[in-house]
Amino acid sequence: MAASEPQETFPSAAAQAKRLLRISRTGALATLGRESGAPLTTWVGCASDFDGSPLFLFSELAQHTKNLAADPRASLLLTSPPDRGDPLNHPRVTVGGPIQRHPDAYARKRYLQRNPKAKLYAPFADFAIYRMRIEAVHFNGGFGRADPLTAADLLTREADASALIAAEDRLLADLNESAGSTAARLAPRDDPGRRAWRAIGLDAEGLDLAAGSLVGRVDFSAPAFDPSEWRRRLDEALTNEAA
């Protein structure tokens, strides 16, 4: 009898969907027309709040913003970065829920850290940060890998994150401080150009990296809300990367 071939393994559906929430910088947003009620899909910039909730920088003049003012219900499709092969065999996730204006300085900071080119127009009076409250999730990991998920599967659990948020700037500076920085050591292995990767943001479940338009992510095995514990989780990730 011939030996059976090893089965291809994939990260869990929740892990893949959460990663898409964290690394995506653009997505397809569907809103409902103010007068017709017909869906309108637009391409928008996005980022993730500390808990993973999608953040946006919208102009009041945009049609999707006007639609949301009349009916906040929307859905957002996030896809994997372009790669070889059939794009329909790559993970994607659609999250749905109300989107409302979110005048929070920290959320604005997170958005601009992940979308630095938006700093050119973010100061304009008609632009503001918006946030989605995820109520529905549709995940497809590729052919034969559509798994049911809920908002609780995607969002970081609620806890007191004030200490970690307060320490974020210091932690990021420490990771980026030298040419042989920790951020550079955590750069994706498949980066052929060995670009200058930098840490651009963190949350209780990992670290976000960027090199120009490219993005990366270090995911922790378990969340850490204390700055010291967070650094230990990162050291674990470094150890695993070197193994």
pLDDT, tens digit (0-9, with 9 covering 90-100), for 153-177: 999 988 899 999 999 999 999 999 8
Burial of 192 (0-12, 13-18, 19+ CB in 10 A): exposed
15-72 residue pLDDT tens: 999 999 999 999 999 999 988 889 999 999 999 999 999 999 999 999 999 999 999 9
Give how far Cα 111 sits from Cα of 56, 117, 160, Å: 7, 11, 21
- Closest to 93 (Cα-Cα) out of 147, 132, 129, 168: 147
The reply to whether 13-154 and 162-242 are identical in fold is no
Residue type, 80: S
Angle between helix axes 162-176 and 227-242 (nearest 10 degrees) is 40
Collapsing DSSP states into helix, strand and coil, what is residue 90?
Answer: coil
197-210 residue pLDDT tens: 899 999 999 999 99
The CATH class of 162-242 is alpha beta
Its sign, for the CA torsion 225, 228, 231, 236, is: negative
Give how far Cα 206 sits from Cα of 90, 132, 166, 174, Å: 22, 21, 16, 16
**Strand partners of residue 45:** 26
Global confidence as pTM:
0.90
CATH of domain 13-154: 2.30.110.10
pLDDT of residue 87: 78
64-77 residue pLDDT tens: 999 999 999 999 99
Burial of 203 (0-12, 13-18, 19+ CB in 10 A): buried
Phi first, then psi, for residue 222 (nearest 5°) are -155, 150
Domain range list for the chain: 13-154, 162-242
**Strand partners of residue 201:** 208
DSSP element (H, E) containing 58: strand 54-59
Phi first, then psi, for residue 41 (nearest 5°) are -110, 130
